[in-house]
Structure 1
Amino acid sequence: MASPLRKRFPREMRNNLGKYLGIFLLMSVTIALTSGFLTAAHSISVIIDDIPATYHVEDGRFTTAFEATDAQLDAARDAAEDAGGIDVFANWSINADCTAESNDGRDCTLRTYVHRTDVDLAAYAEGRVPEAADEVAIDRVFAQNNDVRVGDAITLNGRSFTVCGIMTTPDNQALFQNNSDFTVNTLTFGVAEVSDEGFAALRAGGQQPAFTYSFTFSNPDLTLAERTDAEKDMVRALADADATVNDLTDAASNQGIGYAADDVSGDSTMWSVLLYIIIAIMAFVFVVLTSGTIEEESAIIGTLLASGYRRRELVAHYLALPCAVGVAAAVVGNVAGFTLMSEPMRNLYYSSYSLPPYYATWSWGVFAKTTVAPVAVLVLITLAGLVRKMRHTPLEFLRHETSKGGVKRGFALPERLGFTARFRLRVFLRNLGNFATLFIGIGFASMLLLFSLAILPTMTHYAENLRSNVVAEHEYTLKAPLELEGTDDERAAWSAVDELANVEGGKLSAAADAADELSRAGDALQAAADALAATPTAEGLATAQQAQDAAAAAQDRLYERVDDIAADLGKSRDDVVELLQDAADVDVDGDNVHPVNTRDNGAAKIEQAEKYAVYTLEYDRGSGNGTESITVYGVAPDSRYWDGIGVGSGRAVFGRGLVDKFGFAEGQTVSLYDKYADEAHDVVFEGDGFTWGSKSDMAVYMSLDEFNRLFGNDAGYFNAYASDQPLDLDARYLASDLTPADMDAIGEQFVGMMGDMIGMLVGLSVFIFLVFMYLLTKSVIDRSARAISYMKVFGYRDREISRLYVRSITLTVVVSLVACQPLIIGGLTAIFRAMLLAYSGNIEIFVPLFAIAEVVAIGFATYLVVALLHVRRIKRVPLALALKVQE
Structure 2
Amino acid sequence: MSPLIKRLPRELVHNIGKYLGIFLLMAVSIALTSGFLLAAHSISVIIDDMPETYVIEDGRFTTAFEATDEQLDAVRDTASDSGGIELYKNYSFDASFEKTQGDNARNCTVRTFEHRTQVDLAAYAQGGEPQAADEIAIDRVFATNNDVSMGDTVALNGVEFRVVGIMTLADNQALFQSNSDFTVNTLSFGVAEVSSEGFRALENTGFLPSYTYSYRFADRDLSVADRVDIEKDMVSALSDAHANVTDLTDVDSNQGIGYAKDDVSGDSAMWTTLLYIIIVIMAFVFVVLTSGTIEEESAIIGTLLASGYRRRELVAHYLALPCIVGIAAAAVGNVVGFTLMSEPMRNLYYGSYSLPPYCATWSWGVFFQTTVVPVAVLVLVTLVGLLRKMGHTPLQFLRHETSKGGVKRGFALPERLSFTARFRLRVFLRNLGNFATLFVGIGFASLLLLFSLAILPTMSHYAENLHNTVVAQHQYSLKAPLELEGTSDEREAWKAADTLQGVEGARLSALENAADDAQEKADALKVAAETLQVEPTLEAMQKAQDAQNAFAKSQDAFNSELDGVAADLGATRDDVVDMIDKVSDLNLDDENVHPVNTVDNGADTIAQAEKFAVYTLQYDRGEGNGEETIAVYGVQEGSRYWTDMDLGSGKAVFGGGLVDKFGFKQGDAIELYDKYEDKTHTLTFTGDEGTWGTKSTMNIYMSLDDFNAMFGNDAAYFNGYVSDEPLTLDSRYVASDLTPSDMDAIGEQFTGMMDDMIGMLVGMSVFIFLVFMYLLTKSVIDHNARSISYMKVFGYRDREVSKLYVRSITWCVAASLIVCQPLIIASLTAIFKAMLLSYSGNIEIYVPLACILEVIATGFATYLVVALLHVRHIKKVPLALALKNAE
TM-score (norm 1): 0.99
Q: C-alpha displacement at 1:166, in angstroms? A: 0.2
Give 2:19's aligned amino acid.
Answer: Y
The residue aligned with 2:758 is 758
Give 1:412's aligned amino acid.
Answer: A
Paired with 1:122 and 1:393, the residues of 2 have a C-alpha distance of 73
Give 2:523's aligned amino acid.
Answer: D
SS at match of 1:178: coil
Task: Confirm or deny: 8 A CA contact 1:102 1:148 kept in the other structure.
Answer: no
Paired with 2:344 and 2:573, the residues of 1 have a C-alpha distance of 64
Paired with 1:571 and 1:24, the residues of 2 have a C-alpha distance of 82
Deviations 1:236-280 (A, max 9, x none): 111111111110000000000000000000000000000000000
The residue aligned with 2:848 is 848
1:307-706 paired onto structure 2 within 5 Å: 307-706=307-706
Q: C-alpha displacement at 1:783, in angstroms? A: 1.3
The residue aligned with 2:741 is 741
**2:71 equivalent to 1:83:** no
Paired with 1:107 and 1:127, the residues of 2 have a C-alpha distance of 26
Task: Confirm or deny: 8 A CA contact 1:39 1:363 kept in the other structure.
Answer: yes
The residue aligned with 2:830 is 830
Deviations 1:371-414 (A, max 9, x none): 00000000000011111111111111111111112111222211
Greater alpha carbon shift after TM alignment, 727-736 vs 511-520: 511-520
SS at match of 1:320: helix
**2:61 equivalent to 1:37:** no
Give 2:441's aligned amino acid.
Answer: G
Paired with 2:847 and 2:557, the residues of 1 have a C-alpha distance of 75
Paired with 1:333 and 1:477, the residues of 2 have a C-alpha distance of 53
Paired with 2:164 and 2:634, the residues of 1 have a C-alpha distance of 46
Q: C-alpha displacement at 1:20, in angstroms? A: 0.1
Paired with 1:504 and 1:159, the residues of 2 have a C-alpha distance of 24
SS at match of 1:683: strand
Q: C-alpha displacement at 1:514, in angstroms? A: 1.4
The residue aligned with 1:716 is 716
SS at match of 1:407: coil
1:297-312 paired onto structure 2 within 5 Å: 297-312=297-312
Paired with 1:760 and 1:663, the residues of 2 have a C-alpha distance of 34
Give 1:247's aligned amino acid.
Answer: D
SS at match of 2:171: helix
The residue aligned with 2:16 is 17
Paired with 1:46 and 1:591, the residues of 2 have a C-alpha distance of 50
Paired with 1:351 and 1:684, the residues of 2 have a C-alpha distance of 43
TM-score (norm 2): 0.99
SS at match of 1:410: coil
Paired with 2:669 and 2:566, the residues of 1 have a C-alpha distance of 57
Paired with 2:357 and 2:485, the residues of 1 have a C-alpha distance of 52
Paired with 2:139 and 2:350, the residues of 1 have a C-alpha distance of 12
Shift of the 310–481 alpha-carbon distance from structure 1 to 2, 3 Å rule, reads: same
Paired with 1:535 and 1:70, the residues of 2 have a C-alpha distance of 50
Paired with 1:389 and 1:798, the residues of 2 have a C-alpha distance of 32
The residue aligned with 2:217 is 217
Paired with 1:118 and 1:572, the residues of 2 have a C-alpha distance of 40
SS at match of 1:532: helix
SS at match of 2:842: coil
Give 1:68's aligned amino acid.
Answer: A
Greater alpha carbon shift after TM alignment, 807-816 vs 405-414: 405-414
Task: Confirm or deny: 8 A CA contact 1:102 1:146 kept in the other structure.
Answer: no
The residue aligned with 2:58 is 59
Q: C-alpha displacement at 1:103, in angstroms? A: 4.2
Q: C-alpha displacement at 1:171, in angstroms? A: 0.4
Q: C-alpha displacement at 1:837, in angstroms? A: 1.1
Deviations 1:716-765 (A, max 9, x none): 10000000000011111000001111111111110000110011011110
Task: Confirm or deny: 8 A CA contact 1:292 1:779 kept in the other structure.
Answer: yes
SS at match of 2:46: helix
Q: C-alpha displacement at 1:586, in angstroms? A: 1.8
SS at match of 1:549: helix
Deviations 1:209-254 (A, max 9, x none): 0000000000011111111110111111111111111100000000
Give 1:394's aligned amino acid.
Answer: P
Paired with 2:138 and 2:838, the residues of 1 have a C-alpha distance of 32
Give structure 1 stretches of 5+ with no counterpart. Answer: none
Give 1:20's aligned amino acid.
Answer: Y
Deviations 1:453-507 (A, max 9, x none): 1111111111111111111100000000001112222112111211222333233
SS at match of 1:171: coil
Give 1:795's aligned amino acid.
Answer: G
The residue aligned with 2:3 is 4
Deviations 1:130-173 (A, max 9, x none): 11111111000001111110011111111221111100011000
Give 2:79's aligned amino acid.
Answer: A
Q: C-alpha displacement at 1:656, in angstroms? A: 1.4
Give 1:720's aligned amino acid.
Answer: G
The residue aligned with 1:268 is 268
Paired with 2:280 and 2:409, the residues of 1 have a C-alpha distance of 31
Q: C-alpha displacement at 1:535, in angstroms? A: 4.3
The residue aligned with 1:199 is 199
**2:296 equivalent to 1:293:** no
Q: C-alpha displacement at 1:572, in angstroms? A: 4.1
The residue aligned with 1:882 is 882
Paired with 1:133 and 1:54, the residues of 2 have a C-alpha distance of 27
Give 2:38's aligned amino acid.
Answer: T
Task: Confirm or deny: 8 A CA contact 1:611 1:721 kept in the other structure.
Answer: yes
Task: Confirm or deny: 8 A CA contact 1:176 1:184 kept in the other structure.
Answer: yes
Paired with 1:105 and 1:434, the residues of 2 have a C-alpha distance of 56
The residue aligned with 1:726 is 726
Greater alpha carbon shift after TM alignment, 714-723 vs 546-555: 546-555
**2:707 equivalent to 1:707:** yes
Q: C-alpha displacement at 1:570, in angstroms? A: 4.2
Q: C-alpha displacement at 1:179, in angstroms? A: 0.1
Task: Confirm or deny: 8 A CA contact 1:618 1:674 kept in the other structure.
Answer: yes
SS at match of 2:247: strand
Task: Confirm or deny: 8 A CA contact 1:788 1:874 kept in the other structure.
Answer: yes
Paired with 1:669 and 1:299, the residues of 2 have a C-alpha distance of 69
Paired with 1:40 and 1:389, the residues of 2 have a C-alpha distance of 41
Paired with 1:4 and 1:668, the residues of 2 have a C-alpha distance of 72
**2:105 equivalent to 1:105:** yes
**2:71 equivalent to 1:69:** no
Paired with 2:570 and 2:249, the residues of 1 have a C-alpha distance of 36
Q: C-alpha displacement at 1:623, in angstroms? A: 1.2
Paired with 1:442 and 1:406, the residues of 2 have a C-alpha distance of 20
The residue aligned with 1:142 is 142
Task: Confirm or deny: 8 A CA contact 1:83 1:219 kept in the other structure.
Answer: yes
SS at match of 1:819: helix
SS at match of 2:130: coil
Paired with 1:9 and 1:498, the residues of 2 have a C-alpha distance of 89
Task: Confirm or deny: 8 A CA contact 1:32 1:334 kept in the other structure.
Answer: yes
Paired with 1:373 and 1:556, the residues of 2 have a C-alpha distance of 86
Paired with 2:219 and 2:488, the residues of 1 have a C-alpha distance of 53
Paired with 1:661 and 1:546, the residues of 2 have a C-alpha distance of 79
SS at match of 1:623: coil
Deviations 1:402-454 (A, max 9, x none): 11121112222111111000100111111111100000000001011111111
1:151-166 paired onto structure 2 within 5 Å: 151-166=151-166
Deviations 1:629-664 (A, max 9, x none): 111111111211112211112211111111121122
Q: C-alpha displacement at 1:865, in angstroms? A: 0.3
The residue aligned with 1:27 is 26
The residue aligned with 1:92 is 91
SS at match of 1:172: coil
SS at match of 2:376: helix
SS at match of 1:435: helix
